[in-house]
Amino acid sequence: MSRAATPALPLLTGSTLSPVSVGWERRVQETRASVLAAVGEIISESGLEGLTMRRLAERAGVAVATLYNQFGDRDGVIVAFVADGLDDLEGQLDAQPATAPIDTTRELFRALDDIVAADVDVWRPVFASLQAGTGGLGMGALGDRVIAFVEGDLAKAAAEGAFAVEVDTATLARHIFVSRLSRLERWAQGTIEWGQYQDSSHLGLELILASVLAEPQRSTALRRSGVVASE
């Protein structure tokens, strides 16, 4: 599965930078990694309410001014933390063998669930904060990035004749994402349990796909959803 690569810093591209510039780029990357690691630690220990710029600076061993210079504000720190998680997710998907486009969409959300389930104490408060863009955060460009992943897979599926009808892949990708995110927010807020979130999300995705897929993919999606008996 091939995704568009995240632009690398000059340090990683073989650019002819001076030793001073290379050293500066390395320090920026190391500082960013330390800060984002500290974000996860603090949220796990104290929730989002415990994440302050001063506490984060102390934990990461940097000046408060450095945080503001690199991330803008506390919301910018959280956005960077979520974006870093998406970077990891993209790397995992790129490392996997190529599969059919619809299956890569399924795998995207399975891998996302694995990341969240592996660090519930961190991701629950993060996703709970995303409802209605609390504090100006919301998913914003990060959500658009996930939607772009899905839209790319759907466009490939359309080119392969996988759909029974003409599909607006952008609209379908956004609907799939919003449907999934709304369930994730409900779990994060304690309205549903993790198992209920997974069951509901799996059912929702497969029924959405079954509504537009051509045979035999349509029957496969219906069987995967569990609403029809397996042959």
If you average pLDDT over every residue of the chain, what do you get? 86
**pLDDT the model gives residue 133:** 45
pLDDT at 111 over 60: yes
pLDDT tens for residues 176-211? 999 999 999 999 999 999 999 999 999 999 999 999
DSSP 129-168: TTGGGGGG-SSHHHHHHHHHHHHHHHHHHHHTT-BSS---
Domains and CATH numbers, the chain: 8-72 (1.10.10.60), 74-231 (1.10.357)
CA distance linking residue 183 with residue 198, whole number of Å:
9
Tokens encoding 176:
């799939």
Tokens encoding 87:
């970077």
pTM exceeds cut of 0.75: yes
**pLDDT the model gives residue 24:** 66
- Residues pairing with 163 in the sheet: 213
Which residue type sits at 149? F
If pLDDT is split at 50, 70 and 90, which confidence band does 95 have? confident
